[in-house]
Structure 1
């Protein structure tokens, strides 16, 4: 090749090679997830980036952009967004440069609503969602100081029947769901302390709390699908699912919750032979022997939902039974159908360290704190499970039963505390905590 042709060749080819190198810089889309999916004004939203690893990116190049609100970084591929105090749809953008010739970016559009703002009526919940489902106040008869039966005396309640078990001190007290379905409210005493057990059958939700107001009665009204109670001392109105008085003299006061679990009677009495069953004589209350649940038809009919709902979540069938856990502005949903046999999940939600404990045989699905004596423990199923030994903690090897009680080892005698939780139908939970993350069990 002549000198002239060589010069012409390189003059044409060299820029072409350089241009090809620039084209190799590619853009990669990543996914941004939010918990909750629908934000509430002023409440924190956890943001996480999926489809990328920390080792892939230049950490100094990470940028978050939002159309409004405030970003508070708390991790390399995660952040917390504080929405503005206004409703609307907002955009969140993530960008980062890769260590190779890549650029990562993702965009999320998120809806911000204002939940729990009453339009009128002087109450702390949306009064327009309150309606009367029964003809008058106290049409559903409340039980006061019902009869109790020790385990050795119980003959009529089958072992597979579900009960709401409440514990203060060392004593467990069990309330059959078939009894609660007829009365919805039971004012009782446990260890000399006044308590109330409340059950909203339309949402399949139960709660127990200390009774410091002379007992509670049924207003005959509902909020969405949850019943509304009144206290006999001041006639103020309370919404148990929110744990507060929303209208009346005591407006703004909170209920002091007492932990409870939903479990089969046979499992509870096997683990705790000293348990007491609250089982009134049916003849004395007009309900015969409580041998059936009046809401069985409602539980079987997946399409029939009673309530004025503020939010409809179509991700799961409405009557899917779920365990819901919330902390701050975040919430997560655990469908009962996601578990089979025995299972223990170590979880963290916005700094709340807890475990989800599932035992299909006993019907138990609950959430408990993993913090004991100031230390966060990790749990696993016991290597040789028995009726007593359910799980063990990795740090000390102590053995725990399904009630969260350490039965042997260094921590014997310690009890895991329940975290704020909901157990009931998904449609009611999603209206109470809209847009929550839904747990998917990857074992299935």
Structure 2
């Protein structure tokens, strides 16, 4: 299968017709709610969503991040989240082509697929997965899909962007949560949130053909979303490298930090902990199958999964030697493992465009 430097998507719209989180690059008040909904109370509100034990790194102080947020065009909830998602069996998902990107997740015998062509219009799906309330989130501008636990509240699209990345908000406390950072920052609707990080879970960015072969009993997010949208038309671009956002090197909103080390929309597999960040170029990982690096000061190991066209990052403090053997990975004792099941500490890993990863994590280690 031919490798690619930039993510390819199915769609048929020109850049001039961009919709969703794309809009005028202004810092106007179109995303602000009426004054009566703004909080002037300096007392932190109770945390309404489950949060992690440790906080993930931020590129600057939370207040400075708030200052860098800008309007994406549509107002608060102008991009409507899907709050009552419907699903169909794989056999009934005739609106997806084999090569269409989907975001897959499996937990406790439950498998679901969220088509990229639907998420491009909504960015957030408030769902339930094996008894846990979750939010599946996607930012087309940064090429990132993230899953979060949401407790008893739901997430919505704030209408603001930070580092060209979706800024979510939770509807219980109206705290801002930049998607990739997965960490609260102040905003006009909650000036004093607890600066905590969300509990994340992994979604696999793959194709419908690959996911269905891997999880034949999967359920698929339906186009019956409750909103009138043409889900066969991606508002952000097409395969043509001279048309559309995904394939061009241009940005609609500036990153927090510029890096010319790689083309802006090169896809990396990124991982971060409170101790630092690391990224592996996805094409390089697909070619080499196993790569080593350092996350903070800790040795890290990245492995490629050819079945799903994805990668996993592990901490490898003892620097044990692992080698690719066909579709599996062989450990130092000769035992074979699936790429996603090594006996090491797995670190949450996700696809991202290089400009966005470098913007949030300018001191990241990167290997390719």
Residue 419 (str. 1) matches residue 363 (str. 2): no
Residue 334 (str. 1) matches residue 280 (str. 2): yes
Corresponding residue pairs, total: 301
Three-state SS of the structure 2 residue aligned to 1:268 is: helix
Residue 239 (str. 1) matches residue 178 (str. 2): yes
Match of 2:271 in 1: 325
Match of 1:266 in 2: 209
Match of 1:286 in 2: 228
Between 308-317 and 426-435, report the one with greater CA deviation.
Answer: 308-317
Counterparts in 2 of 1:339 and 1:198: CA distance versus 1, 3 Å: same
Kept in 2: contact 1:237–1:246 (CA 8 A) = yes
- Take 2:143 and 2:88, find their aligned partners in 1: how far apart are those partners? 25
Post-superposition shift, 1:357?
2.4
Residue 132 (str. 1) matches residue 71 (str. 2): yes
- Take 1:227 and 1:128, find their aligned partners in 2: how far apart are those partners? 15
Match of 1:299 in 2: 246
Counterparts in 2 of 1:395 and 1:274: CA distance versus 1, 3 Å: farther
**Cα deviations across residues 62-100 of structure 1 (Å, max 9, x unaligned)?**
xxxxxxxxxxxxxxxxxxxxxxxxxxxxxxxxxxxxxxx
Kept in 2: contact 1:341–1:361 (CA 8 A) = no
Kept in 1: contact 2:328–2:336 (CA 8 A) = no
**Cα deviations across residues 296-315 of structure 1 (Å, max 9, x unaligned)?**
2110221x202233311111
Residue 149 (str. 1) matches residue 88 (str. 2): yes
Post-superposition shift, 1:256?
0.7
Give the number of the structure whose residues are more often strand, by fraction: 1
Kept in 1: contact 2:59–2:360 (CA 8 A) = no
Post-superposition shift, 1:229?
1.3
Counterparts in 2 of 1:370 and 1:157: CA distance versus 1, 3 Å: farther
Kept in 2: contact 1:341–1:359 (CA 8 A) = no
Between 316-325 and 149-158, report the one with greater CA deviation.
Answer: 149-158
Match of 2:60 in 1: 116
Counterparts in 2 of 1:278 and 1:368: CA distance versus 1, 3 Å: farther
Three-state SS of the structure 2 residue aligned to 1:242 is: coil
- Take 2:86 and 2:285, find their aligned partners in 1: how far apart are those partners? 35
Counterparts in 2 of 1:340 and 1:260: CA distance versus 1, 3 Å: closer
Any unmatched runs of 5+ in structure 1? 1-113, 118-122, 407-413
Kept in 1: contact 2:293–2:301 (CA 8 A) = yes
Match of 1:355 in 2: 301
Counterparts in 2 of 1:159 and 1:391: CA distance versus 1, 3 Å: farther
Post-superposition shift, 1:244?
1.7
Counterparts in 2 of 1:174 and 1:149: CA distance versus 1, 3 Å: same
Post-superposition shift, 1:271?
2.0
Counterparts in 2 of 1:343 and 1:186: CA distance versus 1, 3 Å: same
Kept in 2: contact 1:262–1:365 (CA 8 A) = no
Post-superposition shift, 1:234?
1.9
Three-state SS of the structure 1 residue aligned to 2:268 is: strand
Counterparts in 2 of 1:397 and 1:360: CA distance versus 1, 3 Å: closer
TM-score (ref. length: structure 1)? 0.61
Q: Which of the pair has the greater relative contact order for Cα pairs under 8 Å at 6+ separation?
A: 2
Post-superposition shift, 1:165?
1.7
- Take 2:173 and 2:356, find their aligned partners in 1: how far apart are those partners? 28
- Take 1:159 and 1:342, find their aligned partners in 2: how far apart are those partners? 26
TM-score (ref. length: structure 2)? 0.73
Post-superposition shift, 1:347?
4.4
Match of 1:409 in 2: none
Three-state SS of the structure 2 residue aligned to 1:245 is: coil
Residue 229 (str. 1) matches residue 172 (str. 2): no
